[in-house]
Amino acid sequence: MFEAIHYEVASIDGDYANLRNLETPNEELKVVARAILPPEIFEGCKIKYEMMSYSIE
């Protein structure tokens, strides 16, 4: 079974958000379309990726 991946929203750039993996903060940011993220995200909020969906923690 896959474990949840925890991210911080590093920045929001138009229709995309740049996510920082909290387990490996020095790695390159992951770019994700805002359409598949919760609409209430903001820079600095923590989100979780689990079972192919994102949710705010």
- Give me the pLDDT at residue 9, please: 98
Q: What is the pTM of this model?
A: 0.92
DSSP calls for 8-37: EEEEEETTEEEEEESSSTTSPPEEEEGGGS
C-alpha to C-alpha distance for 30 and 27, rounded to whole angstroms: 9
Q: What region does 15 belong to: left with phi over 0, alpha with psi -120 to 50, or beta?
A: alpha
In the block, tokens 């079972």 appear at 51
- Please write the tens of the pLDDT for every residue from 3-34: 999 999 999 999 999 999 999 999 999 999 99
